[in-house]
Chain A
Amino acid sequence: MRIGMMSFAHMHAHGYTNSLLKLPNVELAGIFDDDMERGKEAAGKYHTEHFGDQATFLAQEMDAVIICSENIRHKEMVLNAAKAKKHILCEKPIATTVEDAEEMIRVCKENGVILQIAFPVRFSSPIQQLKDMINRGELGEIIAFRTTNRGQNPGGWFIDDQQSGGGAVLDHTVHMVDIMRWYLGKEIIEVNAIVDSYFHNIDIDDAGILTLEFENGVIATHDSSWSKFTEYPTWGDVTIEVIGTKQTVKADALQEHLRMFSTGSKSLNHLFFGNNMDFGLIKDFVECVEQRREPSISGFDGLKALEVALAAYNASNGGKAVKL
């Protein structure tokens, strides 16, 4: 199977490319990036061809593409790739508006190509184990969720609203909303939120808390922020606590680590040794394309997660709950 990379704007492109190279049945078909310097550097690193022109790249023989552009360009690249009959794995968030996301889903369907959204947290072992426990009924009925996704300020285009479409709340809400929907099989119907910019003196949000209600009455909180700084022992966290009628269980996707103490400005470092979520995601996508099956994480999943993140901004701006 031949898979190409579209843009290295998002740092996850490296994790995904490394994962592709681990799969024996996959060949890296090339890299499109119209940031010529970035594209050439990536192509050199991964020993493949660089394309500066999107149409030329998409004219190549390949089965699928992985899109890791700035958020605002997801739509353009997904539409072009779909029309070129390439199956697609698109970095989250699916888009920056609901309308764009709906159009992307529609065009992919019309062209008969798979659209999968990159939510690698679904492939974290502890997150999957908790899902299995819920499915076996070991938590009883779910009462509430408590989630976090907090990290460092990624800088660059992420803090430019014109390219990202939103800050920490957009960046870090969609993962855990997806996990909650996945665990519960229900949709969120109400969003309350406080969104602000506290930590980095930037013009885009870097802090946000969300209070959510699902259609079956389950309530939830989420903390999505870029509150971590470089001296913090780790990049951040990805956690979910599920309060059930039988028991409460918490999963932390980044908990498996060694504590390494040393001198210097960062005296404590967490050395993560848990499973590689990116690899799980890429392996699943490749299997999906091979088997021509429905994606495990669909465009619709991406859309529903996006809706909640955008509703958080509206709820905060309007000072009242947003109904979905």
Chain B
Amino acid sequence: MKNIVLVRKEKIDYGATNEKALVRNSISELALESDMEPKTFVLPLTEQNLRFDLNERFNTFIPSTKVTSDQVSSGRLYVYFDLENYPFYKKLSEAVKKEARRKGVFRLKRTVNYDEDILLIASDLYVLAELFGEPDNVIMKHSNRAKNPYHIILMVNFSGGTMSHLEYTFSDHESMEFDWSGVKKIIEFNSKEMSPIKPNNLTDLPLTYNADAIVASAHLADQNLIEQLNKFRYTVEEGVRQ
């Protein structure tokens, strides 16, 4: 089976991606792909590519912010979550899962571009719920949408025993920082500090992931996933309406 991964091009670290991941600009270019060899095609995340239906011949991987309720039935549509794919998040997840008790404080701060979908927050909640347990309670505050930057705060009490602040600033660049304070264990990450090239604006690292990771971690877009995601989307949409 062949895979199509739709992704923002600056998100892919090709140096860390399997050699069988092939870059294409448009899904129409795949019409001639008739061999049976498994391949992964990486394509830009455009509205045109999102609308193109090649599901019968390809598994398609789209970001969680783009999936809609009517896309459940195909069985070949997969959803990937931005946060889940970052190598540093995987390391955090591995370390936290080793803890016997996941009691602690988790703080996440993301600065994202102005045009980022607000549903990214719902996607992050989905990913974090897998790590810390279902949110028992979510309180949301946001700044005046008419002013830039737009800032959103979520205070979440996860059922696994973690209290959390998730903060999003919609601005002109991307960065991410988080810290986990557990019992006798503290994990800290700041993408600005961990950039392997200085000045930071010369590289997208470490805010990148690879196509293999997307294929490996993606979730089948089934009814259960859509319902879970919609629950978090509702929380976020209600929060910003208040």
Q: Quick check: is B107 within 8 A (CB to CB) of the other chain? A: yes
Q: A residues within 8 A CB of B184? A: 199, 229
Known contacts A146-B167, A211-B155, A223 near B107 by CB under 8 Å: yes
Q: Quick check: is B23 within 8 A (CB to CB) of the other chain? A: no
- Distance of A151 from chain B, by nearest CB (Å): 11
Q: A residues within 8 A CB of B143? A: 143-144, 217-219
Known contacts A144-B153, A192-B139, A225-B181, A198 near B147 by CB under 8 Å: no
| B151 adjacent to A223 (CB under 8 Å) | no
Q: Quick check: is A207 within 8 A (CB to CB) of the other chain? A: yes
Q: A residues within 8 A CB of B161? A: 198
Among B178-192, those with CB < 8 Å from A are 181, 183-184, 186
Identify the 10 closest CB pairs spanning chains A and B, nearest first.
A227-B181, A194-B163, A144-B151, A219-B141, A211-B155, A198-B103, A143-B143, A221-B165, A192-B139, A143-B151
Q: Quick check: is B59 within 8 A (CB to CB) of the other chain? A: no
In whole angstroms, how far apart are the Cα atoms of A243 and B143 in the complex? 11
Residue of B nearest to A224 (CB): B105
Residue positions of A touching B, CB distance < 8 A: 141, 143-144, 146, 148, 150, 192, 194, 196, 198-199, 207-209, 211, 213, 217-219, 221, 223, 225, 227-229, 232, 243, 245, 248, 319, 321
Q: Quick check: is B137 within 8 A (CB to CB) of the other chain? A: yes
Partner of A209, one of B137, B151, B164: B164
| A219 adjacent to B171 (CB under 8 Å) | no
- Distance of B242 from chain A, by nearest CB (Å): 12
Residue of B nearest to A227 (CB): B181
- Secondary structure of the A contact surface, majority rule: strand
Residue of B nearest to A222 (CB): B165
| B171 adjacent to A248 (CB under 8 Å) | yes
In whole angstroms, how far apart are the Cα atoms of A194 and B147 in the complex? 29
- Distance of B233 from chain A, by nearest CB (Å): 21
| B148 adjacent to A245 (CB under 8 Å) | yes
In whole angstroms, how far apart are the Cα atoms of A221 and B157 in the complex? 14
Q: A residues within 8 A CB of B144? A: 143, 217
Q: Quick check: is B169 within 8 A (CB to CB) of the other chain? A: yes
In whole angstroms, how far apart are the Cα atoms of A152 and B235 in the complex? 35
Residue of B nearest to A232 (CB): B186
Partner of B165, one of A143, A199, A211, A321: A211
In whole angstroms, how far apart are the Cα atoms of A148 and B157 in the complex? 18
Q: 8 interchain pairs (CB within 8 A)?
A: A141-B147, A144-B153, A199-B104, A209-B105, A219-B142, A245-B147, A245-B148, A248-B169
Partner of A192, one of B107, B111, B155: B155
Residue of B nearest to A320 (CB): B139
Q: Quick check: is B149 within 8 A (CB to CB) of the other chain? A: yes
| Binary per-residue interface labels of chain B (5-19) against chain A in the complex, 1 for a CB within 8 Å, 0 otherwise | 000000000000000
Q: A residues within 8 A CB of B157? A: 194
Partner of B183, one of A199, A218, A319, A321: A199
Q: A residues within 8 A CB of B103? A: 196, 198
Q: B residues within 8 A CB of A225? A: 105, 181
In whole angstroms, how far apart are the Cα atoms of A199 and B181 in the complex? 9
| B109 adjacent to A146 (CB under 8 Å) | yes
Partner of A221, one of B147, B167, B183: B167
Residue of A nearest to B175 (CB): A248
Q: A residues within 8 A CB of B139? A: 192, 211, 321
